[in-house]
Structure 1
Amino acid sequence: MADGGFKESTQCKDWIFTETTLREKRESVNQKASEKVRKHIAEEYRMQNKDASEDKLPVTLNADEELLLVVYYTCQLGTLAAAMNLPSHIRGYAVTYFKRFFLVNSIMEYNPKTIIFTALYAATKASDHYIPIDQFCKKIPNSTPQQILEFEFYLCQSLDWDLYVWLPFRPLQGFLLDCQKALPSFPHETLFKCHDQAKQFLSETLHSDLYFLYSPSIMALSAIYHVNQDLCTQYLEAKNLQKLMPKVKENEAQLLELQHAQTDINKAKEIGKKLYFCMDPYQRKNSAVYLKRKAEDEEQEMARQRRKIERQKSVPDRNPFA
């Protein structure tokens, strides 16, 4: 099968889960973030001489609400990539980066409106489609190089610098090329049409959790099955891979359901309003705690520079050639 070493990849080891472990991971991240954010908001309230008692603090998002916003912004990211006429694999990289980032971080900690731009820009560099940052920003209204680059390090760090993404588009092409040999009776025109339709189907479902649950090869076979069931069935029989059919059918059914499922825009906006009040004030550049921390960091840096200068003064000015 066209796994091409996927089972030995870091994606398989670190980014493929069961439905249970995936949900547990999201709930754990949400719980830790909620506790941290409420602590920071209480600190902000006290600095503003507001009542910081527990009952006065805003209600934080739960894991399901965070996921709904992630899906919503993932779809927005896909639309943005399409509007910029970027290739499908770059869209796949960007969406994957965004989803992985918010699998280990909370939306209450980092503004998704900023991270979608950072993820897309990082994807262009990682997939050898580099666009100069100034030119990139011209294509995105109200964006600045500083805004996009500010979180690039945090993005890569959250991904554990695992920037190569195994997407289903290459296995899709590989399977259909192999079909020409395994099933010579199928016209090439049928295979070409299948490729284009299956690729479109996969692109429309990039926002789904199935990319955290299945290998790229299974995703590709499921897309082929969706477009042409006879072709997929005969191919698996010709390659003695009939045992994969139940998983392929199951995945295809889930993909089909997700393809037509639309994010509730009103619900997303409602959660977005809730997010505004429970966003970590440490990320708000006009908040009291942010300004305090910035001043402390600047003072520490100045102290470090002073110590460095003092050390340099204490070293005798010796001529190394004497």
Structure 2
Amino acid sequence: MSDFQTSTHRERWIFQPQDLVNKWTTANRRSAEILAQYGTTRLKVDPVDGSISNPEPLPDHGTLVGSSSVKPLSCEEEQVMRIFYEQKIQEVCRAFKFPHKIQATAIIYFKRFYLQWSVMEHHPKHIMLTCVYASCKVEENHVSAEELGKGIQQDHQIILNNEMIVLKSLDFDLIVYAPYRSIEGFIDDMDDFCRAGNGAHQRLKDLHQTANSEVDTMMLTDAPLLYTPGQVVLNYKYYG
């Protein structure tokens, strides 16, 4: 794996807080405009090349939109939706007993995807499953789409249909550096000291587990898009 300092993760996927707000606002506004024009926001995705097409205008478009009770989600409501499905990613990964690295990569893929798109344009349940599938591939823990879909009682074709649009939206920047690797580095640095006895080694194991749990919570915040993995680990007590 390449070094973080020269990675696309560091160069292209660490943002300032206002950058995130601008991206989410742009996607939300675009979806609201599509809803006003077509009466729906769901975009059609070509499963072969990931190309996007807008929905067809409804025949009675003018009458329907004027009287429709369908309203676009606010940016705040979209954020709640994203966090909900990020928690679902964690649940799926735990159910399959995937390593923390796969879980973290899938969540970061999901976060990056929705910097470009609104949850009103692409269903987050479908994108969530596709991110888990892509993460398993990249982290060399391959699980077939059929096995993943069967394990959570979902149509595996949904995963395959959205794979290309997810990869394109990530600009094919698939190498992700997770905070858990930084935790392991800190633990290794302390390990020799803790071998001295007095129960310190067991205490270190307990602290390792606690740190992983805290970072699991941090992964549901904006922190992975704002800070480097090492900073996430060092600052988790002061964020969120």
**Is structure 2 residue 217 aligned with structure 1 residue 204?**
yes
Cα distance in 2 between the residues matched to 1:91 and 1:19? 24
Paired letter, 1:118: T
**Bigger shift: residues 100-109 or 132-141:** 132-141
Write the deviation string for residues 104-153 of structure 1: whole angstroms up to 9, x where unpaired. Answer: 11111101121111111111111100012222222021x22322100000
Match of 2:208 among 191, 195, 208: 195
Q: 1:88 to 1:53 in 2, by over 3 A?
A: closer
SS of alignment partner, residue 218 of structure 1? helix
Q: Does the Cα contact within 8 Å between 2:102 and 2:139 map onto a contact in 1?
A: yes
Paired letter, 2:170: L
Cα distance in 2 between the residues matched to 1:177 and 1:49? 63
Q: 1:152 to 1:183 in 2, by over 3 A?
A: same
Cα distance in 1 between the residues matched to 2:170 and 2:57? 33
**Is structure 2 residue 70 aligned with structure 1 residue 58?**
yes
Write the deviation string for residues 224-245 of structure 1: whole angstroms up to 9, x where unpaired. Answer: xxxxxxxxxxxxxxxxxxxxxx
Q: Does the Cα contact within 8 Å between 1:37 and 1:109 map onto a contact in 2?
A: no
Q: Which has the larger radius of gyration?
A: 1
How far does residue 196 in structure 1 lie from its aligned partner after superposition?
Answer: 1.8
Within a 5 Å distance, the mapping from 1:135-174 to structure 2 comes to 135-141=147-153, 143-174=154-185
How far does residue 165 in structure 1 lie from its aligned partner after superposition?
Answer: 0.9
Within a 5 Å distance, the mapping from 1:22-101 to structure 2 comes to 22-41=20-39, 46-48=58-60, 51-54=63-66, 56=68, 58-101=70-113
Cα distance in 2 between the residues matched to 1:175 and 1:155? 33
Within a 5 Å distance, the mapping from 1:1-322 to structure 2 comes to 5-41=3-39, 46-48=58-60, 51-54=63-66, 56=68, 58-141=70-153, 143-180=154-191, 187-221=200-234, 248=235, 251-254=236-239, 258=240
**Bigger shift: residues 26-35 or 105-114:** 26-35
Cα distance in 2 between the residues matched to 1:93 and 1:212? 12
Cα distance in 1 between the residues matched to 2:33 and 2:193? 57
Q: Does the Cα contact within 8 Å between 2:24 and 2:115 map onto a contact in 1?
A: yes
Normalised TM-score (structure 2): 0.83
How far does residue 101 in structure 1 lie from its aligned partner after superposition?
Answer: 0.9
Q: 1:115 to 1:192 in 2, by over 3 A?
A: same
Paired letter, 2:133: Y
Q: Does the Cα contact within 8 Å between 1:45 and 1:52 map onto a contact in 2?
A: no
Q: Does the Cα contact within 8 Å between 1:45 and 1:51 map onto a contact in 2?
A: no
How far does residue 216 in structure 1 lie from its aligned partner after superposition?
Answer: 0.5
**Bigger shift: residues 11-20 or 166-175:** 11-20
How far does residue 56 in structure 1 lie from its aligned partner after superposition?
Answer: 4.1
Structure 1's unaligned 5+ residue stretches are 222-247, 259-322
Q: 1:82 to 1:53 in 2, by over 3 A?
A: closer
As a proportion of its length, which structure holds more helix? 1
Normalised TM-score (structure 1): 0.63
Alignment-derived partner of residue 51 in structure 2: none
Cα distance in 1 between the residues matched to 2:137 and 2:204? 32
Percent identical: 27
Q: 1:164 to 1:215 in 2, by over 3 A?
A: same
Q: Does the Cα contact within 8 Å between 1:6 and 1:12 map onto a contact in 2?
A: yes
Write the deviation string for residues 271-294 of structure 1: whole angstroms up to 9, x where unpaired. Answer: xxxxxxxxxxxxxxxxxxxxxxxx
